[in-house]
Structure 1
Amino acid sequence: MNSANIKAVEELLSVPQRIVIIPHKNPDGDAIGSTLALWHYLKNRGHEAVIVSPNDYPKFLKWMPGNEHILNFETKNSQALAAMQEATLIFTLDFNHFGRTGQLEPILEASNARFIMIDHHQAPSNYAEVTYSDVEMSSTCEMVYNFIEFLGDTSTITPEMANCIYTGIMTDTGSFKFSSTTSRTHQVVANLIDKGAKNTEIHNSIYDTNSPSRLHLLGCALKNMVILEEYRTAYITLSQEELDTYNYKKGDTEGFVNYGLTLEGIRFAVIFIENKEEGIIKISFRSEGDFSVNQFARKHFNGGGHDNAAGGRSDVSIEETAKYFVSLLEDYKENLNA
């Protein structure tokens, strides 16, 4: 954030505000961690603050301090809608286009509130009065830590806030292995531990609470994996029937796409997941090195994200989607084998 943005935020927060904090649809650890950390911070500064999530999120994220106060727009619609309509200030975290909020999009577009965006994805929209956007950042949670630091308030970070921020950084960096993890990231994490973040407990809460059905679904996914050595690519398909067979719950496929990259020589990993309810194939892309899955997803699958992690969608069958995907790889062979 530049000095003008910092001054603008200080002025906005110098008087009591009715604040709503919004994560993206299907929020992940970074989205929930950042919104909860900011919620604690703003409440402690004396503001009215509410988090409105566009929909539900995985059970393994619901242990975080303050989780019980999040309003799920789908199940607490009237409360969430009232909070959004009464808001004087809206923070949007971990996304940069209203379209990423699903059914909240028209409500946000019609809002008379002032907006602050904190996000690390590419190509931000210009809806916010204050935009803190940095694609080099490991996570929105690291940016929330910076945001608090810019305001001179790191001394006010509580153990609850530290746990939430640590969670988002850990999950969005693949437990600190992605290239977006910098020395600054580790410095922030060290400070969070000093402020009370329980790193071992957080890791266990996120990664070591599997159900038998999730592990069986993982086995199915790995059995379905197709390896295309000539393109240094691996992809997984999961049909709705397979999801139903293994009693799929929201969040159960989190991280499955990364298994492709654990194979020696593979640079590009993809998972195609059928969603009958929405009538789409949801796609996650991961890569290593300089192969940009953000550009690939934007060009071919109505998606986007980061250079090494992105999402997309397809409106045709899972078989047609996979076939189309494979047909594209010849044009990228040289890049993938560089």
Structure 2
Amino acid sequence: MKIQDIQAIQLLLATPKKIAIIPHRGPDGDAMGSTLALYHFLLKFNHEPIVIAPNDFPDFLAWLPGSETVKIFEKDKQNCTRILNDADLIFTLDFNALHRVGDEMEKVLASLTKTFIMIDHHQKPDDYAAYVYSDTSIGSTCEMIFNFITLLDKKEAINIEIGTCIYTGILTDSGSFKFPGTTGNTHRIVAELIDLGVPNTQIPNLLFDNSSYSRLQLLGRALQNMKILEVHKASYTTLTQEELDTFNYIKGDTEGIVNYGLSIKGIHLTAIFIENKEEKIIKISFRSQGGFDVNQFARDHFNGGGHRNAAGGKSDVSMQETIKKFESIVSQLNKIPHEN
């Protein structure tokens, strides 16, 4: 981040402000971890921060410190709109295009003449923010929040609450430190957080070992539905709305299922297609290993994007038509490259 931008933000934060902090729609561990870490940080300096999530966050993140204070735009549009209108500053974390918050909230944000600060690690940021900290080489927005606080010369303010939120986002967005964005600096930050007292052995249990029986049944169905395109080193699975309903789906139950496709020997590209009848879309997650860029794949074919090895998208046609399109595109790629 530019020195002059840091200095300008330091000046903005020198006096108490009303500050809205916003994650993307369908917030994951990195989105909630980064927004709540920033929330706790700003509280320490007498600001009035409020996290406003576009929609509900998964139940397995409800233990995060401060999660009970989060406002949900979809559930309280009038009040959340008022808060946004009253804010002096607006931070947008873990996304870089306003459409990622959903149509109604996007319209509210686009109408505001406020100072926006973007902190994000995805490709091709839009230009709505006055101050931008964007770095695609960093594996998580939570790692960037640690850097941001350090750049503000306030590293000593990081306590166990802030550190817990940061650790959670780093852990989830790094795939438990397996993804390519995990660097030596990632581990150095994590080491500092552990030394601070962050409960690093408890957090994985809270995140990954807290499933309901219904969620495990849903996972079983997704694994049963998996298809292998062996010649093309690809796999995919599906979950229909009927299947979600049968296994009492709640938000967060499909988190991480897409990764199972990459655990198969020889598979370098995988996807999960999840039907959402209410929104009339097929929600898609892509994962890859090595040289295949699922960010570009999602952008080119499925109205999405993300990172080189982890991206999302959507389809407005039926599940059957979506699968047919995916198989057709993959068949034209020959073999999915694995080289870095």
TM-score by length of 2: 0.98
> Is 2:183 the counterpart of 1:182?
yes
List alignment gaps of at least 5 residues for structure 2.
none
Q: Secondary structure at the match of 2:201?
A: helix
Corresponding residue for residue 42 of structure 2: 42
Instruction: Give the deviation of 1:335 after TM superposition.
Output: 4.4
What is the CA–CA distance in structure 2 between the aligned matches of 1:97 and 1:77, rounded to whole Å? Answer: 20
Corresponding residue for residue 64 of structure 2: 64
What is the CA–CA distance in structure 2 between the aligned matches of 1:195 and 1:83, rounded to whole Å? Answer: 34
What is the CA–CA distance in structure 1 between the aligned matches of 2:165 and 2:338, rounded to whole Å? Answer: 39
Instruction: Give the deviation of 1:291 after TM superposition.
Output: 0.3
What is the CA–CA distance in structure 1 between the aligned matches of 2:207 and 2:172, rounded to whole Å? Answer: 8
1:22-56 deviations in Å (ceiling 9; x for gaps): 00001000000000000000111111111101010
Amino acid at match of 2:314: R
> Is 2:262 the counterpart of 1:261?
yes
Amino acid at match of 1:26: G
Q: Secondary structure at the match of 1:56?
A: coil
Corresponding residue for residue 16 of structure 1: 16
What is the CA–CA distance in structure 1 between the aligned matches of 2:52 and 2:172, rounded to whole Å? Answer: 21
> Is 2:151 the counterpart of 1:139?
no
Instruction: Give the deviation of 1:329 after TM superposition.
Output: 1.1
Amino acid at match of 2:272: I
Q: Secondary structure at the match of 1:320?
A: helix
Corresponding residue for residue 253 of structure 2: 252
TM-score by length of 1: 0.98
**Greater alpha carbon shift after TM alignment, 326-335 vs 270-279:** 326-335
Instruction: Give the deviation of 1:290 after TM superposition.
Output: 1.0
- For the Cα contact (< 8 Å) 1:34–1:141, is it kept in 2? yes
What is the CA–CA distance in structure 2 between the aligned matches of 1:337 and 1:161, rounded to whole Å? Answer: 37
What is the CA–CA distance in structure 2 between the aligned matches of 1:335 and 1:268, rounded to whole Å? Answer: 7
Instruction: Give the deviation of 1:195 after TM superposition.
Output: 1.7
> Is 2:143 the counterpart of 1:127?
no
What is the CA–CA distance in structure 2 between the aligned matches of 1:334 and 1:225, rounded to whole Å? Answer: 19
Instruction: Give the deviation of 1:77 after TM superposition.
Output: 2.8
Instruction: Give the deviation of 1:76 after TM superposition.
Output: 2.9
Corresponding residue for residue 81 of structure 2: 81
> Is 2:306 the counterpart of 1:327?
no
List alignment gaps of at least 5 residues for structure 1.
none
Corresponding residue for residue 96 of structure 2: 96
Provide the aligned C-alpha RMSD in A.
Answer: 1.0
Identity between Structure 1 and Structure 2 (%): 55
Corresponding residue for residue 277 of structure 1: 278
Go from structure 1 to structure 2 and tell me whether the alpha carbon gap of 1:125 and 1:337 turns closer, same or farther (over 3 Å shift).
Answer: closer
Amino acid at match of 1:286: R
Amino acid at match of 1:51: V
Amino acid at match of 2:73: F
What is the CA–CA distance in structure 2 between the aligned matches of 1:275 and 1:252, rounded to whole Å? Answer: 14
